[in-house]
Amino acid sequence: MKPPSCWYVYLIECRDGSLYTGIAVDVALRYAKHAAGKGARYTRAHPPLRLLGQRAYPDRSEASRAEYRIKQLTPAHKRALCEEWVAGRSAVGAT
Query: Which pLDDT value is given to residue 2?
Result: 56
Q: Does 23 map to a domain?
A: yes
Query: Which pLDDT value is given to residue 72?
Result: 97
Task: Tell me the CATH number at 53.
Answer: 3.40.1440.10
Q: Does 47 map to a domain?
A: yes
3-state secondary structure 21-45: EEEECCHHHHHHHHHCCCCCHHHHH
CA nearest to 51, candidates 90, 19, 87, 5: 19
Q: Does 95 map to a domain?
A: no
Query: Into how many domains does the chain fold?
Result: 1
Domain containing 33 equals 7-87
pLDDT (tens place) for every residue of the chain, 95 residues total: 555 689 999 999 999 999 999 999 999 999 999 999 998 999 999 999 999 999 999 999 999 999 999 999 999 999 999 999 988 876 544 44
Q: Does 83 map to a domain?
A: yes
Q: Does 92 map to a domain?
A: no
Around Cβ 44, how many Cβ atoms within 10 Å? 12
